[in-house]
Amino acid sequence: MECAELVELVTEYLEGALDAEKLERVLEHLTACDGCTAYVGQMRTVMHVLASAGDERQEFEEAPLLDLFRQWERDRPTS
């Protein structure tokens, strides 16, 4: 396996979605390639951070938008 192929499979690998043959090839490559091992570690961290921050990010963005809408409702001229 070349590094480019591993890069294309990294998400499936981290999600546990690879078939046995691809998993074996990925693991074999990782034992021999420090660069890809580091890349997989970085991607694992990114996926973990994004997964844990998803709900907080939505609440953070939604609240100010709702506040602006409520202010607009209060301040708009009535016909």
Domain limits of the chain? Answer: 3-75
pLDDT digits over 18-62, tens only?
Answer: 999 999 999 999 999 999 999 999 999 988 887 777 655 555 566
Q: What is the DSSP letter of 16?
A: T
pLDDT at 66 over 90: no
Number of H helices, E strands in the chain: 3, 0
Q: What are phi and psi of 22, to 5 degrees?
A: -65, -40
pTM for the whole thing?
Answer: 0.65
